Structure 1
Amino acid sequence: MMGKSSMDKAKGKAKEMAGKATGNERMEAEGKTDQAKANVREAAEKARGKAAGARDSLRDKH
């Protein structure tokens, strides 16, 4: 199953490609922005997961 950030990235890529195909620069830019937002969200999710793992690891040692 795709996560929200993966779906947003795919939607952004589709929007970017549609903008390129139609010559719509605004749509192309929106697609690139959507992809960038998805990348940031994905990085934040990974950081939260690593922080939770580290916290759990420290908890297990005590």
Structure 2
Amino acid sequence: MKILLAYKCHPEGAEDPFTSLLPAGLLSLHAVLLKAGHQVTLANLSGFTWGEVRALFKRL
């Protein structure tokens, strides 16, 4: 199964390294899903506008 784990912080925090980093929980989920044999992609979308995020999801 293909799985996308995506994160987008609040726009005000996009330049803040503490709020724009991927949450540790997503990294843990990524590891568990990989071990279970899934094809997993992590995406940090904090630097993208909502319009860019929607366009990206439409292409997927």
Is the structural similarity TM-score above 0.5? no
Answer 1 or 2: higher relative contact order, Cα 8 Å, separation at least 6.
Answer: 2
Computing the radius of gyration from Cα coordinates, the structure with the larger value is 1
Question: TM (normalized to structure 1)?
Answer: 0.35
Relative to its length, the structure with more strand (as a share) is 2
Question: TM (normalized to structure 2)?
Answer: 0.36
